[in-house]
């Protein structure tokens, strides 16, 4: 269920013309209504692996280099492909498109890419990593 505060944030972003904030709030709205079992199962499948500990570092605010984020995101994409194939599920249910776009922004050295990666990872996975 989406709370009213999110729509207020979206309205304010639209009024100010802040496209980055509009996109962020729209993603927040979409994420709040999706089936999170895919994310939960994905996190459970990587427990004990380096990827899981790196996810936890990002969520806890540990600073990583742009190259570390690129390696980390490409690793997430690989694990998502494996998880989707193993469970015969739609790869798009795992958020791979957002990861792909964020990785592209990092490769192109766009300034907001790391912050977008942090937000994407925290909003999607923090409740499964931190409890």
Q: What is the pLDDT of residue 34?
A: 64
Residue 2 Cα distances to 8, 18, 69, angstroms: 11, 21, 30
Q: What is the pLDDT of residue 103?
A: 96
Same domain (yes/no): 16, 79: no
pTM over 0.85, yes/no: no
99-128 pLDDT, tens digit per residue, is 999 999 999 999 889 999 998 898 889 989
Same domain (yes/no): 49, 100: yes
Same domain (yes/no): 23, 58: no
Same domain (yes/no): 52, 72: yes
Q: What is the pLDDT of residue 31?
A: 62
Same domain (yes/no): 40, 78: yes
Residue 29 binned pLDDT confidence (cut-offs 50, 70, 90): confident
Domain count, the chain: 2
Same domain (yes/no): 22, 75: no
Residue count of the chain, please give it. 131
Residue 53 C-alpha from the chain's centroid: 15
Q: Which residue has the higher pLDDT, 112 or 2?
A: 112
Residue 30 binned pLDDT confidence (cut-offs 50, 70, 90): low
32-51 pLDDT, tens digit per residue, is 666 778 889 999 999 999 99
Same domain (yes/no): 57, 110: yes
Same domain (yes/no): 75, 125: yes
Same domain (yes/no): 16, 71: no
Residues spanned by the domain of 20: 1-33
Q: What is the pLDDT of residue 33?
A: 64
Q: What is the pLDDT of residue 32?
A: 65
Q: What integer best gives the mean pLDDT of the chain?
A: 88
Same domain (yes/no): 74, 26: no
Q: What is the pLDDT of residue 36?
A: 79
SS (H, E, C) the chain: CCCHHHHHHHHHHHHHCCHHHHHHHHHHHHHHCCCCHHHHHHHHHHCCCHHHHHHHHHHHCCCCCHHHHHHHHHHHHHHHHHHHHHHCCCHHHHCHHHHHHHHHHHHCCCCCHHHHHHHHHHHHHHHHHCC
Same domain (yes/no): 21, 84: no
Asked if 6 and 30 count as a contact pair (C-beta separation under 8 A), the reply is no
């Amino acid at each position: 269920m989406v709370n009213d505060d999110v729509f207020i944030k979206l309205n304010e972003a639209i009024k100010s013309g802040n496209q980055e904030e509009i996109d962020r709030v729209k993603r927040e709205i979409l994420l709040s209504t999706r089936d999170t079992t895919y994310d939960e199962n994905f996190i459970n499948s990587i427990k004990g692996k380096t990827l899981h500990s790196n996810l936890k570092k990002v969520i806890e605010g540990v600073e990583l280099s742009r190259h570390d984020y690129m390696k980390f995101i490409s690793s997430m994409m690989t694990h998502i492909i494996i998880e989707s194939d193993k469970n015969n599920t739609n790869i798009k249910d795992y958020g791979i498109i957002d990861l792909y776009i964020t990785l592209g922004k990092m490769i192109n050295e766009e300034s907001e890419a790391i912050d977008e990666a942090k937000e994407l990872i925290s909003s999607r996975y923090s409740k499964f990593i931190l409890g």
